[in-house]
Structure 1
Amino acid sequence: MAIRVTDAGTNQSVERAVSVLRALDSGRAELRVSDVAEVTGLGSSTASRLLSTLERLDMVERDPVSNLYRLSLGTLSLSATALNRHPVHRASRMVLQGLAARTGLGANVAVRRGDVLLFLCNFEGTRAPKSYTQAGDTAPLHATGIGKCLLTRLTPKERRRLLAEPLAAHTEFTTVSHDLLDEEIDTVRRSGYAVEAEERALGRASLAAPVRDASGDVVAAISLWGPTSLLGGQAKATRPEDEARTALTREVIEAADAISQALGGI
């Protein structure tokens, strides 16, 4: 996806430099100058000058053999500071670590950034599949339990403005209709938690609960995720009598409440 720059009321040099950094964070580990130029829409000479400047500032580094560019560790302190100073990250880190240890499942926390959710941290339990999710990764709102919790803050009209219909299908079980999504979000509001079964990836399911701040607004959400054999797939997604899942639901709601209390909510 191209990362284009604009010149409406912004400093174009700064905007171009940021677009180069985002290009290096857009999927591939290393890029050529021509790749960066293509992704950003900049000319090759401009992209090359910006990369050289960012290299001197220790924001990017160039492999001496391949001449490919990648983000340098000089960006690490900036991202780590932003993450560690975020109130939701501070309030949730120890809670989620304990949740993953007790249940053996994966535990995530995320906030909404525009039309996607942004993960702030992820812990893997012993019974959870290997996850490559890391802080800073994004995921769709409509196809995740966390996302559905975050969407409870918006009205149906606001959700339709935010997410174009049909909603993107990630599996055959993904909700792709706003009308169905409205019904699911109403259920989340009534029950206090969300269930996602194989909507984003086959064989995986999640239970999620919203996190509120002192004003009562939903500012984040957490989830327990793992294999459908433990959390229930499509065939089991509506079985409230499932004692194991009922216990896990209680765990995720209590963890979300603990984080909310740390943020001044509830």
Structure 2
Amino acid sequence: MRNTTRDLPRGPTSAQKGESTVQSVDRAVTILELLAQHGSLGVTALAADLGVHKSTASRLVAALERRDLVEQIADRGQYRLGAGILRLAGATDARLDLADAARPAARRLADLTGETVNVAVLSSGAALYVDQIVGGGRHSSYNWVGQRIPLHATSNGKVLLCELSEAEVDDILDDALSAYTPATVTDRATLHRQLAQTKVSGYAVAIDELDVGLTALAAPVRDARGVIVASLSVSGPTFRFDEARREQVLGPLLEECAEVSARLGWREIPSVGIADS
């Protein structure tokens, strides 16, 4: 008798199905990496970067969107990383709540200043950026959300460290303070002096320290106990952020930080004033 089973079309084997699943996972992760790098991209651009048909990229993006790992930007047809990525990055529920509490203030600051506003928390020896709002209709060249940024080279980092003891700061930081630009503070004693000044003034400034051409001004957000639990920063090109511009931005920044702190139960409002950076 003829063995007709040999003539029947065969479906994919278990090994082939496994390879297909792994390939889909790899492509989905690549999408997340591309969005982290570029800030936002459309399906057409993602498909081109992946080397796949647009329909394939669309299915992958839809799957990620269902998990809140990406979200569509209204009226632009582009996607960016979603809030779900923070959970996978190790953010706690408290941090997510804090990002939600700070978002209205961040939006007001971005609208008022026309600059980029970031919300950061202390996490595993770095500043974890949990939210970012870009003002003035501008498109940020980099999405910091979910990224861990060096503490010693950023205004957010200095705010997050400023009320810790020198011993606590030394325990958190690496033995060597890496230089990212010629302006990066790599001397530990100098950093401690800057942190002491930040504690007194209530804000921190970083000019060209993480990236040449980038200046940021940051202030603390406190919980009900008065402990610094986050930092809110306004950043923009150094050529726009001269001392006069920082003076304009500082008042609204401190007011919004006080507003977020009040929502978290803290009542003291920091004084407004700017010293030489």
Instruction: Classify the TM-score, shorter chain.
Output: 0.5 to 0.7
User: CA, structure 1 residues 81+188, in 2 after alignment: closer, same or farther (shift >3 Å)?
Assistant: closer
The residue aligned with 1:166 is: 176
Measured in 2, the distance between the counterparts of 1:263 and 1:106 equals: 23
Runs of 4+ in 1 over 3 A off after TM superposition: 63-66, 80-85
Aligned partners of 1:127 and 1:226 also within 8 Å: no
Rg (Cα) greater in structure: 2
Return the letter of the residue paired with 1:249. Answer: L
Residue 79, structure 1, aligned to residue 71, structure 2: no
The alignment-based identity, stated in percent, is 31
Residue 125, structure 1, aligned to residue 135, structure 2: yes
**CA deviation string 1:91-124 (max 9, x = no partner):** 1101111110111111110111111111111111
The residue aligned with 1:265 is: 266
Q: How large is the Cα RMSD of the aligned pairs?
A: 3.3
Measured in 2, the distance between the counterparts of 1:144 and 1:243 equals: 20
Aligned partners of 1:128 and 1:225 also within 8 Å: no
Q: Which moved more, 1:106-115 or 1:122-131?
A: 122-131
Measured in 1, the distance between the counterparts of 2:138 and 2:197 equals: 26
Alignment equivalent of 1:212, drawn from 202, 205, 222: 222
Aligned partners of 2:86 and 2:146 also within 8 Å: no
Q: CA deviation at 1:64?
A: 11
Measured in 1, the distance between the counterparts of 2:137 and 2:33 equals: 30
TM-score under structure 2 length normalisation: 0.64
Which aligned pairs between 1:1-266 and structure 2 lie closer than 5 A?
Answer: 24=29, 73=64, 75-76=67-68, 79=84, 82=87, 86-126=96-136, 130-232=140-242, 242-266=243-267
Q: CA deviation at 1:263?
A: 0.6
Return the letter of the residue paired with 1:251. Answer: P
**CA deviation string 1:53-89 (max 9, x = no partner):** xxxxxxxxxx8969xxx99616436826957872211
Secondary structure of 2:239's aligned partner: helix
Question: What count of residue pairs does the alignment treat as equivalent?
Answer: 204
Return the letter of the residue paired with 1:252. Answer: L
Aligned partners of 2:222 and 2:261 also within 8 Å: yes
User: CA, structure 1 residues 116+108, in 2 after alignment: closer, same or farther (shift >3 Å)?
Assistant: same
Aligned partners of 2:85 and 2:146 also within 8 Å: no
Question: Any gaps of 5 or more consecutive residues in structure 1?
Answer: 1-19, 30-62, 233-241
Return the letter of the residue paired with 2:265. Answer: G
Secondary structure of 2:117's aligned partner: strand
Measured in 2, the distance between the counterparts of 1:128 and 1:230 equals: 14
User: CA, structure 1 residues 127+245, in 2 after alignment: closer, same or farther (shift >3 Å)?
Assistant: farther
User: CA, structure 1 residues 145+81, in 2 after alignment: closer, same or farther (shift >3 Å)?
Assistant: closer
Aligned partners of 1:204 and 1:226 also within 8 Å: yes
TM-score under structure 1 length normalisation: 0.67
Measured in 1, the distance between the counterparts of 2:118 and 2:255 equals: 14
Measured in 1, the distance between the counterparts of 2:156 and 2:141 equals: 16
